Structure 1
Amino acid sequence: MTTRFGYTLMTEQSGPRELVRYAVGAERAGFDFEVSSDHYSPWLTEQGHAPYAWTVLGAVAQATERVDLMTYVTCPTMRYHPAVVAQKAATLGLLSDNRFTLGLGSGENLNEHTIGEGWPALETRQEMLEEAVEIIRALFAGDLVTWRGDHFDVDSARLWDLPEEQVRLGLAISGERSIGRFAPLADDLIAVEPDGDAIKEWNAVDGVATIGDGARAIGQIPICWGPDEDAAVEKAHEQFRWFAGGWKVNADLPTTSGFAGATQFVRQEDVADQIACGPDLDKIVENVSEFWEAGFTDIALVQIGDESQDQFLKEAAEPLLEKLRTAAP
């Protein structure tokens, strides 16, 4: 498979009308696909947004024609019942003319605690995700589903509007144990770190499609392009210092104030060490290359900062994509 490059509709940093506009601009600039976060809250107060991702994606599906779309990622276990997620995904598959992939994960406390049901331990969250995927698969098949499980009940549910092609499922994985558990349930792998071992472990699971030959490995990387490097580093620190904590931390903190406290000692230089900032497109390509060198087939870029999106899409996106496609396999 040729490496594909995507654009992130980051609901934590932009309002719904802006996100639809950026989606159109990203398609025009030549991105292959677009992924959307699915948040109830931003990571940090400075980001300032959290519109409903599914409404945005419905609008994006009508405003675009070519790009593939994806949630990156939806938690189908707490805020949303899996039967409802299946219905939303099927509808979006229809609206997008089969361009939609349902990306699923076990969620973050930041978003899921809002319903007041507490935050389960990791093993319980993974059990819930596994059961949710089984329910979603059954509904995607068009069956009349009644389910009595350890975590969910479904009573005589059927999806009445299904797309011509069954919606693909991508599952977020973290470690060998979760790969063994979720690879047989998924069409595609999702991960936010360029971990080549994860690709090898996925490919070693019996009965699953190989990454690059039927299955995709979809990664994501933040960048902060801008004409002034110092200003870009400052913006990345303001908006994305939460990223320095890693996902084991990020999954468990419940509020923006928690993330503010956890990242109070993260310095600008710490962020600059992790995120390519400024006008140097070759530096961005070098950072992104870690993903395709690890075996990822699809890589979504996150351009940090709402106010920079129009300029990025107008001035930097096309030459950056040209450089990425020249360098990537």
Structure 2
Amino acid sequence: MPLTDLTLAECLALRPDLDEPADLDAFWDRTLRTARAADGTPRFTPVDTGLTQITTYDVAVPGFAGEPVRGWLHLPAGAEGPLGCVVEFLGYGRGRGLPHEQVLWANAGHAHLVMDTRGQGWSTAGGDTPDTVSLNGDVPGFLTRGVDSPDHHYYRRVYTDAVRFVEAARAHPAVDPDRVVVTGHSQGGGISLAVAGLVPGLAGVMPDTPFLCDIRRGALIAGAPPYTEIAEYLSLHRDRTETVLTTLSYVDAALLAARATAPSLFSIAMMDDICPPSTCFAAYHRYGGAKDLRVYEFNGHEGGGGHHRREQLAWVRELFAAPRTTPVPPPRTTPDSPETPPEKRPVHAA
């Protein structure tokens, strides 16, 4: 599996100049205020999974437009006191699956809230949340759904769902609201970066080989879907390039990541042809908070796999054990400059 993008040295030196909409903050402020004003409260219904050491709840959280978004909440059985919580967003095409399938974080002693992804779940694990907005692009997939306008775009709804899931986690009596981490692989990694930029006061962020970062470049160089959906769409609609790329800039996780303040642990794979490493590094370099990085030089989109789960487990354990010394910052209203603070730790190649 050869390199399909820049070398590691080139990626470490990369500082892309991304096109940011002037009203990006206002757009998301309006979107989230509207969602919070919708009716509905989160529901948590106990589920018998047959597991004796994990207590699981079937979750429904009011997301975009108040529409119920499904998920699972896993808690260590018999745990006392508010727990640190890992909120997980899923990869492209994945749904929440069956309730016993994802219990790693609860087995580690943490609360674990898994969000279903609206309209997805047609590969590897079933989903239970329909996307009620029937805006389809001219190619299969989700990147071109509603691509004529930021207000209509599919990921506006998904990011809003994700923010509402974090808010539901913070409000749950079993969760310590000051110890909430967001994570995800691929699409889930991009969602976690977007949430980090939209929700102040998170304890941490763990994006793995994140999708939805520097989307314009991804559409130009990725050799495999989902970014190829954009190229395929624009090959049919040659006169819509700027409209499409402008719409996608409102959901570009590399732009939203610049607003984040929580500490982060990134993973990036140098032979990834699905989320090219240069696009992931665009988000890493622009990330607004403290950041740590694991690079997997000879892996594709699978990244570090179980080796990286081990890194994450140790990172979260240390994070949740540390006393909180800084207050939750207020919401940001202006973006950072393109230059991010120096990395707090050295890059680790694996």
TM-score when normalising by structure 2:
0.28
More helix as a share of residues = 1
Q: Relative CO higher for 1 or 2, CA cutoff 8 Å, sep ≥ 6?
A: 1
